[in-house]
Amino acid sequence: MSNQKSEEVVAYRINVNGIVQGVGYRPFVYRIATELGLNGFVLNSGNGVIIEVEGKLDDCLKFIERLRTEKPPRAIVKNLVYERIPLKGYGEFKVEKTVNGEVETLCPPDVAVCQDCLNELFNQVDRRYLYPFINCINCGPRFTILEKLPYDRVNTSMKSFEMCGECVREYSDPLDRRFKAEPNACRSCGPSVKLYGRDGLLRVSNPISEAARLINEGFIVAVKGYGGFHLACDATNRDVVLELRRRKKRGNKPFAIMVKNIEEAESIVELSDSEKKWLLHYSAPIILAKKRVPNPVVEEVAPGMKYLGVFLPYTPIHHILMRGVKPSAIVLTSGNVSEEPIIFRDEEAFEKLGNIADYILTYNRRIVNFADDSVGFVQDDSLRLVRRSRGFVPEPVEVELNIDGVLAMGADLNNTFAIAKRGRVFLSQYMGDLENIFIRRRYVETVKSLKRLLNLDYKTIAYDLHPGYYSSQIGLSLKGNKIPIQHHYAHILSAMAENKILNQDVLGIAFDGTGYGDDGNLWGSEFIVVRNGEYFRRGHLKYVPMPGGEKAIVEPVRMAFSYLYDAMGEDALKIDIGIGDRIKTFLKKMIEKGINVPRTCGLGRLFDAVSALLGVCLKRTFEGEPAIMLEMVASDGIEESYPFSIVGGREYIVDTAPIILSIIEDLKKNVPASKISTRFHETIVRLTVELAETIRLEEEVKNIVLSGGVFQNRIISSRIKRAMEERGLRVFCNNLIPTNDGGISLGQAVATGFKTGG
């Protein structure tokens, strides 16, 4: 039925915010507007996408409705507002240039090459057949090529490549998939790949196929990806995997593998639907999935592990490379010397990777921002990142507090830092461990460069309470208002922010290795209540000495002795823990004299001690190894728990001595390590649930928040979560923000919002 009102011609102005730049938002708007016969324009501004449309009222309303319900695949609309405006009489619909002003819009993360581009890449008649830099508005590098916002070609490392006529045509046509695809390129105008051997450039017609052939022959090849170099070798060849470990100076820390496709992945690891979904996701993270037994990948890739880190090709170079690779999987690990930062500049690759790789496959487009691969595992159908970097950075976390102008330094292990602006917290890419001098340098550089790049400024600096942390020292050296934040409080806040429950009262359980406590001891088994942003400590494990401080982390057998001595005194000397009597006496004296013996209640240290007692890991070669290996020997079955006792009132203390004594009893009875580990895990679950139940009843809270590195342990996190949910509690964990210290910067930033009343 014709309605007179709907024939009326009106005009609207619409403002869309979120991830709407570099994701094909303007062409999408153009298509809808032209389909509905509307005139006007769309443009990127300092404040998101601005649209004006004119036409029949009905069509304008349909247009707004479609903007609400439809979007290009990777756009994220956070906010859409519109208002009626006077008619201006536009004659057509146009895509206008970006207008300057304060840049508020966000930079998208790097995106794995899309299916449309892959179809062209492997289509012999396509003009980009096998062109390794194919991309479109829906895929390609983003953050890693960005020099500054807004995300336009002139602000990326693509600016040195002038588009050919054909590429310009695609780039300027609003109906083309490459309209405003900033890295748009082809063989005649874009970047190209080169392969180098020890004697220089190899003159081969197809460097990528040649690199694949070299991998098949057992060589180690460095390959430049989106965010840095990788080292690649045949994952089914024991000799080359061992050689890579030797050259990279890498202990037992697992390598990730790249497989050709999801079918190949399924032949190596078991995959649930969510795991498959994340492997195929455009962020293309490494997924830690359960190994199949047997599988073609040699054990030396991830020695003793139940899980393998697997990922799929995400750049066109990877896709072309994997086509030529014969084995079902290749090792693809960060291009660096162990513990050093990932290498992303060509000069450095030639200097430092020259000794590790036999060949280097690189290309002439500069990586502006490095980014390691992101790593995660799937639990209860949700992704839990243990490293948040490529594919996720620099997407901000939106928080309910008005935090503005804050730089949060993070912690020293698995460092990320963060900058907050108007309620958005931008976490940096993964930095690594700030113990390493090269990572320290890169950290200082990156704090400066991210601030510039994303146009973020700060007046307030949040840092970890630990006076010995490098990140704290750097924070203190910067100009601004400085606020120290307790480590475990930051862990809990990170999970609260991620789950958007900052305005609720919670019982937070922070389990990790060590973090500096308010009493000067090393904490790490904290039961803290957070109420109106204030926290107070209601429980923790008993303190034990850490003989030699940091040395006790590298040599878990020291923690084993310390726990034994705590539980049985002098008798501890009689227990065989794989070290000589002289060392035991030395440790005993150290503890008695209290020289260089900090006190710790970190649950991670108890895991270390048990791991060493069982002979599972006496000396660690990578962070968390003793605890991880203890989890690996545990079985899936349920065993009875060991006894423990909880004492105290205002502050509850869990006495661990009964646990240690029972483990010694089991060892004397030759109970296998796998059974003891399973019982130990069950014990931690029980004592956590029991103590949490007591505290939450006293404090009248219903929300439980779990955070800290120990919650990367799948047995601990899933069983605690389930047991508490069965009691009718709401349980929150970290998901896309790491539960390890990679999430600390978010918690620190959030804490300033409470402290300054923001």
**Nearest-approach distance from CB 522 to Fe ion, in angstroms:** 11
Residue 164 binding partner per list Zn ion, Fe ion, none, with a CB distance cut-off of 5 to 8 Å that depends on partner kind:
Zn ion
Among 33, 111, 136, 320, binds Zn ion (CB under 5 A): 136
Could you tell which of Zn ion, Fe ion, none binds residue 514, using a CB distance below 5 to 8 A set by kind? none
Residues 166-185 within binding reach of Zn ion (CB under 5 A): 167
Query: Residue holding tokens 């206008």?
Result: 96
Amino acid at residue number 389:
S
Q: Are 140 and 197 in contact (CB under 8 A)?
A: no
Q: Which is nearer to Fe ion, 336 or 525 (CB)?
A: 525
Nearer to Zn ion, 186 or 325 (CB): 186
Q: Examine residue 86 and say whether the peptide bond preceding it is cis (omega within 30 degrees of 0).
A: no
The rounded Cα 12 to chain-centroid distance in angstroms is 41
Residue (185 or 356) nearer to Zn ion, CB: 185
Window 64-103: contact mask with Zn ion (x via CB under 5 A): ----------------------------------------
How far apart are CB 215 and Fe ion at their closest, in Å? 38
Which residue is it, tokens 């089914």?
Answer: 236
Sign of the C-alpha dihedral computed for residues 670, 676, 678 and 679 taken in this order? positive
Task: For the CB of residue 501, give the shortest distance to Fe ion in the complex, in Å.
Answer: 20
CA gap 354, 340 in Å, rounded: 15
Note if the bond before 296 is cis, omega within 30 degrees: no
Determine, following the binding rule CB under 5 A, whether residue 164 of this chain makes contact with Zn ion: yes
Which residues 459-518 are close enough to bind Fe ion by CB under 5 A?
Answer: 512, 515
Question: Closest-CB residue for Fe ion?
Answer: 512
**Which one of Zn ion, Fe ion, none interacts with residue 186, CB within 5 to 8 A by kind?**
Zn ion
- Which C-beta is closer to Zn ion: that of 164 or that of 478? 164
Binding of Fe ion by 373 (CB under 5 A):
no
The site partner of 167 among Fe ion, Zn ion, none (C-beta below 5 to 8 Å per kind) is Zn ion
Interacting stretch for Fe ion, rule CB under 5 A, among 432-440, 453-461, 475-483, 738-746? 738-746
Q: In whole angstroms, how close is the CB of 108 to Zn ion at the nearest point?
A: 13
Alpha carbon distances (Å) from 194 to 5, 205, 225, 295, 318: 64, 10, 13, 34, 14
Those residues whose C-beta lies under 8 Å from the C-beta of residue 231, and which sit 6 or more positions away, are 220, 221, 222, 223, 244, 248, 331, 332, 333, 334, 335, 353, 356, 357
**Residues 511-540 close enough to bind Fe ion by CB under 5 A:** 512, 515
Q: Cβ 679 to Fe ion, closest distance in Å?
A: 26
Give every strand in the sheet of 39-45, ordered side by side: 76-85, 9-19, 48-56, 39-45, 93-95
Which of 639/741 has CB closer to Fe ion?
741
114 binds, among Fe ion, Zn ion, none (CB under 5 to 8 A by kind): Zn ion
- Token pair 């649209």: residue: 51
Q: Which of 24, 741, 748, 753 binds Fe ion (CB under 5 A)?
A: 741
Residue 159, Cβ density class (10 Å: 0-12 exposed, 13-18 middle, ≥19 buried):
middle
SS3 462: strand
Rounded to whole angstroms, how far apart are CA atoms 528 and 531? 10
Of the ranges 163-171, 248-256, 638-646, 693-701, which one interacts with Zn ion (CB under 5 A)? 163-171
Between 515 and 598, CB nearer to Fe ion: 515
β-pair partners for 230:
223, 334
Residue 136 contact among Zn ion, Fe ion, none, beta carbon within 5 to 8 Å by kind: Zn ion
Question: By three-state DSSP, how is residue 309 classified?
Answer: strand
Taking alpha carbons only, the member of 208, 23, 228 closest to residue 132 is 208
Q: Which of 44, 135, 184, 436 is catalytic?
A: 44
Name which of 43 and 118 has its Cβ closer to Zn ion: 118
30 CB-side CA count, 13 A? 20
The reply to whether 292 belongs to the active site is no
Q: What is the dihedral of CA 274, 280, 286, 287, to 10 degrees?
A: 20
Q: Which of 26, 142, 177, 719 is catalytic?
A: 26
Site residues (CB under 5 A) for Zn ion, limited to 178-237? 186, 189
- The region of 158-166, 234-242, 511-519, 584-592 touching Zn ion under the rule CB under 5 A is 158-166
Residue 197 CA to residue 358 CA, distance in Å, equals 6
Interaction pattern, residues 691-730, with Fe ion; x per rule: CB under 5 A:
----------------------------------------
Site string for Zn ion, 100-119 (x = CB under 5 A): --------------x--x--
- Nearest distance from residue 322's CB to Fe ion, in Å? 37
Q: Which of 16, 42, 139, 553 binds Zn ion (CB under 5 A)?
A: 139
Helix H, strand E, coil C: the string for 535-571 is: EEEEEEECCEECCCCCHHHHCHHHHHHHHHHHHHHHH
- How far is the C-alpha of 413 from the C-alpha of 338, rounded, in Å? 15
Instruction: Respond yes or no: is residue 26 known to be catalytic.
Output: yes
Query: How far is the C-alpha of 606 from the C-alpha of 642, rounded, in Å?
Result: 14
Cβ–Cβ < 8 Å for 464, 487: yes
CB of 167 to Zn ion, least distance (A): 3
> Which of Fe ion, Zn ion, none does residue 566 bind (CB under 5 to 8 Å by kind)?
none
- With CB under 5 to 8 Å by kind, the binding choice for 741 among Fe ion, Zn ion, none is Fe ion
| Residue 189, contacted partner among Fe ion, Zn ion, none, CB below 5-8 A by kind | Zn ion
Entry field: residues in the chain: 758
Give the footprint of Zn ion on residues 630-659 (CB under 5 A). Answer: none
Q: Name the site residues for Zn ion (rule: CB under 5 A).
A: 114, 117, 136, 138-139, 164, 167, 186, 189
Which positions touch Fe ion (CB under 5 A)? 512, 515, 741
Active-site residue numbers? 26, 44
